Chains A and B, each alone.
Chain A
Amino acid sequence: MLLINCPYCGERPELEFVHGGQAHIARPGNPAECSDQQWAEYLYRRDNIKGVHAERWRHVHGCGRFFNALRDTTSDQFLATYKVGEQPPAQPRKATA
């Protein structure tokens, strides 16, 4: 089974987690000043990366916390996990698979 390293609980089986979409998307400070285009981009437009992707995950059947992860979308390998509010690790180890 794929193990995911929860920043709070350590390595845990994949089925305790849910995917939470792309990470590091900041809500516009003043939505009223956004154009429809800008607001739609914030709501709906997401990257579709082939390679290392920063994502939100939630340890829903564990500590319940959201955290961020760098995952290689081609190999499904998790390169790093880190707490919300932290910067993604600058140089995650290279994907081997």
Chain B
Amino acid sequence: MRDLSAARQAPYVAASPLVRPLPPLTRLLLRGGSDALAAALAALGLPFTEAACRAVSQSDRSALWLGPDERLLLAPQQQLIELTELLREALAGRAHCLVDVSHRQCALEVSGPQAAVVLNCGCPLDLDAHAFPVGMCTRTVLAKAEIVLWRSGERSFHVEVWRSFAAYVSKVLALAARELSP
């Protein structure tokens, strides 16, 4: 089998004190009705909620709400086989679509007291803690790229970006951070 590992090198990320690349993750995109989603999340030990734009986490696994019938499942890289086995069992006989997008996108963390301000240089959402509390997640735009934005802490955001956009997005963020910190 052809070795594709060269294509899986970490994408370029512009250096910035507020932005750092996160380690590779297992990413599964799951679509289905409420019963399929609930069964899948239960198999992964995650609580199921239909609340819009909310992420649920349990130890090192998370499920991000992307749409009423769509969840992005995140877990450590080495759990891919384990997760797909669990999901295969839980989803048997239920209409669903499960896609491994682990290498399609990569993750950046934007953190620090200015994190929301830096993101707002390219993202039009209201990122005030009341409007976008910890645990909220959504697909949105950052400058000219589409991202998934997840507030992982009061002052930290997890940004999922398609790997070919990682250089662009990180440069936009680095530029914004440079403008803010003399």
- List chain A positions with a Cβ less than 8 A from chain B: 1, 8-10, 12-13, 15-16, 61-65
Known contacts A9-B138, A13-B125, A16-B141; A64 and B53 CB within 8 A of each other: no
> Among A8, A61, A63, A64, which residue has its beta carbon within 8 angstroms of that of B141?
A61
21 inter-chain pairs at a CB distance below 8 angstroms, sorted by A residue, are: A9-B52, A9-B138, A12-B125, A12-B140, A13-B125, A15-B141, A16-B124, A16-B141, A61-B139, A61-B141, A62-B67, A62-B138, A62-B139, A63-B52, A63-B66, A63-B67, A63-B68, A63-B138, A63-B139, A64-B66, A64-B67
Q: How far apart are the CA atoms of A1 and B66 in the complex, in Å?
A: 23
Report whether over half of chain B's contact residues are helix, strand or loop; otherwise say mixed: strand
CB distance from A18 to the nearest CB of B (A): 12
Chain A, residue nearest B53 (CB) = A9
CB distance from A67 to the nearest CB of B (A): 11
Chain A, residue nearest B145 (CB) = A61
Chain A, residue nearest B124 (CB) = A13
Q: Is the CB of B139 within 8 A of A65?
A: no
Q: How far apart are the CA atoms of A8 and B125 in the complex, in Å?
A: 16
Q: Is the CB of B124 within 8 A of A8?
A: no
CB distance from A6 to the nearest CB of B (A): 9
- Chain A residues with Cβ below 8 Å from B70 are 63-64
Chain B, residue nearest A83 (CB) = B68
